[in-house]
Structure 1
Amino acid sequence: MDRTRAEELIGHLTDLVDLPPFESSDRYSLSRTLAITSLHFGASVRILCDSGLALGSAAVLRSQFEALLRGVWSLHCASDFQVEKLSSHLSAESQQATKNIPLTAEMLGAINEEPSLANLMVSLREFKESSWLPLNSFVHSGIHAVHWTKFEAPQALLDQMFRSSNGLAVLAFQHLAILTGVSTLQSEVVSVCGAYASCLPLPR
């Protein structure tokens, strides 16, 4: 687990996509905010993994994935009404109004219907199929949480979550690149990652 290299990668990509969104609409603003939310969760995962805290790492990793997923969904699939509800100022009323916003499975289903997102969908589906059940177990204090409270989590588990989180961060940066409207920026994000294999998901 190479946190120093991971922070260098995040810093490099942050500088690369530090541009305003292509549109100043609520939809673009919400989608950008959610991608940044995902990166905030990712920063927490790196710290927790580096501290050997597997339970916290797993719980926050799920939130990182959901924030990224919602960011993509809000740009491509959400209705104007859903964007408006999620963009409202926080209050008891706005919190109640977002109760029926789609959850993970429904968002994935909607994204799957968008032909332009086919490549991204491969990565999202792979993460969900391999990680969703154990992450839910951690979040809801199921058998994974019980087991790794009683026994010290192996370094391999922490390394896997660390790498997965960094992989999700790269997807968030690719999404931020898309939001800038600069046609070459997404491929530039991918090119940067070539030098950081030590902190990214292992090839399957």
Structure 2
Amino acid sequence: MDKLLSRSAEYEDFVYGLLSYPEAEPSSRTHGAKILCAVAMEHGQSLKILMHSHAFTSALGLLRLQYEALVRAHWLVFAASDTQVEKLLAELTHESAKAGNSIPMVGEMMKAMEGKAPPNALQPLQEFKENSYKALSSYIHGGIHAISRKSKGYPIPLLENVLKNSNQLCGVSCYFWAQMTKNPLLMAQAMHSFNKYQDCFNYLPNSN
């Protein structure tokens, strides 16, 4: 587990480096998406810190937050209306916070992206939602998963799977932003990183 945490931190550093590059066509959409990628990466970084501290229940909760931030980043670019973008990026006030409550939740955002987002961008997000999202809700809301694992312990294979899922989301952030730069070299580096750090993933992301 310690080795996987160390390798995951190395991969995280690589992704942060790639996220430092500017997008090819700056807009309010890409500006918001970059912030949300940074939010998703922060959740992933915090997940590793909590795992290192053996705060596993809290770590699992962060995996869902990492996913939700990444879904919203994609939705901002591919499917949000101009009005929705404006609401989400408005200066924070009491009024804008109330208006922001109308922003769609994960299921609606995923549906809105169908036929608009590239299939290779949507597929890993959909697979995560189908395989992991519901169980993670239990950890956030104190459900049966949280009670059972906290009382009986967390098997190492489960923790490794969670960490690899988090790394997978980091990989999605990585390739998503590489595409926003429209820099062929950065896109190639992102794809190469999946092979270089393949021990950090459950499966290799697909760019096709």
**Bin for the TM-score computed over the shorter chain:** over 0.9
**In 2, Cα distance between the equivalents of 1:16 and 1:38?**
14
Q: Which amino acid aligns with 1:24?
A: P
Q: Which amino acid aligns with 2:139?
A: F
Q: What is the match of residue 140 of structure 1? A: 141
Deviation string 1:33-53 (CA, Å, 9 cap, x unpaired) is 111111111101111222222
> What pairs up with 1:17-36 in 2 under 5 angstroms?
17-36=19-38
**In 2, Cα distance between the equivalents of 1:118 and 1:151?**
40
1:60 corresponds to 2:29:
no
Alignment root-mean-square deviation, CA: 1.5
User: Which runs of 5 or more structure 2 residues have no equivalent in the other structure?
Assistant: none
Q: Aligned residues, how many?
A: 202
SS at match of 2:196: coil
* More deviation, 93-102/20-29: 20-29
> What pairs up with 1:98-137 in 2 under 5 angstroms?
98-114=100-116, 116-137=117-138
**In 1, Cα distance between the equivalents of 2:19 and 2:140?**
32
**In 2, Cα distance between the equivalents of 1:119 and 1:180?**
17
SS at match of 1:194: helix
Say if 1:34 and 1:71, in contact at 8 Å, map to a contact too: yes
Moved over 6 A (4+): none
State the 1:184 CA deviation: 4.1
**In 1, Cα distance between the equivalents of 2:122 and 2:30?**
20
* More deviation, 46-55/165-174: 46-55
What TM-score does the superposition give when structure 1 sets the normalisation length? Answer: 0.93
User: Which runs of 5 or more structure 1 residues have no equivalent in the other structure?
Assistant: none
Q: Which amino acid aligns with 1:10?
A: E
